[in-house]
Amino acid sequence: MGRGSPPAPAPRLAPGLPALLAAALLLLLLPAPAAGVNVTAVLAAFPGFSDFARLLASSPVAAELAGRSSLTLLAVPNANLPRSPSAFAAAAGADLADVLRYHVLLEYLSPPDLARVPASGRLVTTLFQTTGRAPSDLGAVNLTATAAGGGSSSSAVVVRSPSPSPGSNATVLGAVTREPYNLSVLAVGGLIVPSGFDIAASGSETRPSPAVNITRVLTDARGFNVAASMLEASGVADDFEADERGAGITIFVPTDDAFAALPATDRLQSLPADRKAVVLRFHVLHSYYPLGSLESIVNPVQPTLATECTEAGRFTLNITRFNGSVAIDTGVVQASITRTVFDQNPVAVFAVSKVLLPKEMFSRGNTINPGAATPPATMTPDVSDGPRTPPTKLSSPPALRGQDSKPSSAPARNANWWCTGIGLVCLLLPLL
């Protein structure tokens, strides 16, 4: 009886390979590193926070969060936001971006974490602390648990600054959404002002004394080279300083792409300097309107700086809210606000999708109205005549009359004469 072949020896692993396999297995079991937070995308699913999301998107804060994780965002519902968040922040002597940074906690807090907040409080660092503008720990918030009242045993969490300024507290209303260990969004009852600011202060007292250099703002923002050069060359930018110190100004600035998209028939750059200045003034409201005020504006028909040079009812803009954004209608062009470029009381600058062409100077076909009179040297546009309406039927020159493009009626008249003649011949033949 034959013996079977001996079993093959087990393969031997290369030295160090087991350790490598163990390390690879450990890496697979570890959680993946958290990606940056796209806060505006998260808030887009919650229409009740659209205004707060728009504030974040129009400020540098949204970009600052792109490289961070493990955050808690204190979001303010639309109904709880001040009518003018920018004015609210300016009245406290604060910058709106810093107020928004104060609503970003650099720690992930879930609802169970809030339930464990002690009555003595818990100090949590905010994004504002990282700016270096917050002395000591005044860039942090203090979370404290208070009795909810009404005989309930539950407690409410209040967010306040370590040394609270008047009106700087807000109550956590509840959880909105969360991405575990990456982002937690909590609703709070109002905007929270960092310590060291006083929201009871007068806005006029905290208004910045130096005038805002609009052309520099546009140059720094990028994408507004055409508008900046036109304002500088026309001298219109020099007029803004006096307006800023009054009721403020709101400027709608077309992007470079908006100027490039102008049809060839809109020869804006070839206009005389005085008429070009009128178009530029047509982009400016003689009042400070932050984005929230424009969205809820009471009177949609707003006069512009060009209106002040003419008469009431001329060179006005129709401003309404449409499809979640601010729409601007000139009677010739329909544009929309695409983003906030600058917003600090008393100056607001917004990017618009199109060049705003006044109907008093441009026809319905978006072409220069050649019949419009040239304004005098004072840059006052002549609006005594509105845009001319083209005739409904063009008449031919005297030498070409009877040869219009419309088919002539002469052949029909000749046919009628032939029929009449034949009929008379048929009647006369029996009498011959």
pLDDT tens string 143-173 = 988 765 444 455 788 888 776 554 467 889 9
Identify whether residues 254 and 298 lie together within a single domain.
Answer: yes
Q: 131: which 2 tokens?
A: 């700016």
Q: In this structure, what are the phi and psi dihedrals at residue 45, rounded to the nearest 5 degrees?
A: -80, 0
In a domain, residue 416? The reply is no
In a domain, residue 21? The reply is no
Identify whether residues 128 and 263 lie together within a single domain.
Answer: no
pLDDT tens string 339-358 = 888 877 778 889 999 999 99
Identify whether residues 64 and 161 lie together within a single domain.
Answer: yes
More confident residue, 426 or 330: 330
In a domain, residue 378? The reply is no
* Mean per-residue pLDDT, 198-226: 66
In a domain, residue 24? The reply is no
DSSP code of residue 210: S
Q: Which of 160, 149, 147 is nearest to 119 (CA)?
A: 147
Q: Are 391 and 378 in contact (CB under 8 A)?
A: no
pLDDT tens string 227-237 = 999 998 888 88
Angle made by CA atoms 338, 339, 340, in degrees to the nearest 5: 145
**Minimum mean pLDDT among 54-58, 331-335, 426-430: which range?**
426-430
Q: Whole-model pTM?
A: 0.43
The proportion of the chain whose per-residue pLDDT surpasses 70, expressed as a percent, equals 65
Identify whether residues 141 and 269 lie together within a single domain.
Answer: no
Identify whether residues 243 and 162 lie together within a single domain.
Answer: no
pLDDT tens string 382-404 = 333 333 333 322 233 333 333 33
**Minimum mean pLDDT among 82-96, 135-149, 415-429: which range?**
415-429
Identify whether residues 218 and 183 lie together within a single domain.
Answer: no
Identify whether residues 179 and 45 lie together within a single domain.
Answer: yes
More confident residue, 43 or 242: 43
pLDDT tens string 74-92 = 999 988 888 778 777 777 6
Please report how many Cα atoms fall inside a 13 Å half-sphere around the Cα of residue 393, on the Cβ side: 4
Question: How would you class 328 by CB atoms within 10 Å of its CB: exposed for 0-12, middle for 13-18, buried for 19 or more?
Answer: buried
Of 311, 330, 352, which residue sits at a domain end?
352
**Minimum mean pLDDT among 21-30, 220-229, 377-386: which range?**
377-386
pLDDT of residue 108: 92
pLDDT of residue 382: 37
Identify whether residues 272 and 173 lie together within a single domain.
Answer: no
pLDDT of residue 77: 92
How many domains does the chain fold into?
A: 2
CATH number for the domain that contains residue 230: 2.30.180.10
Domain that holds residue 141: 39-147+155-188
Q: Are 259 and 353 in contact (CB under 8 A)?
A: no
Of 328, 352, 376, which residue sits at a domain end?
352
The proportion of the chain whose per-residue pLDDT surpasses 90, expressed as a percent, equals 22
Identify whether residues 348 and 250 lie together within a single domain.
Answer: yes
User: In the sheet that 316-322 helps form, which strands lie side by side, from edge to edge?
Assistant: 284-285, 249-254, 347-352, 334-344, 325-329, 316-322, 301-303
Q: Has residue 284 got a pLDDT over 90?
A: yes
pLDDT of residue 377: 34
| Beta strands 249-254; 347-352: pairing state | parallel
Give Dmax (Cα) for the chain.
Answer: 147
In a domain, residue 198? The reply is no
Identify whether residues 242 and 340 lie together within a single domain.
Answer: yes
The overall average pLDDT reported for the chain is 73
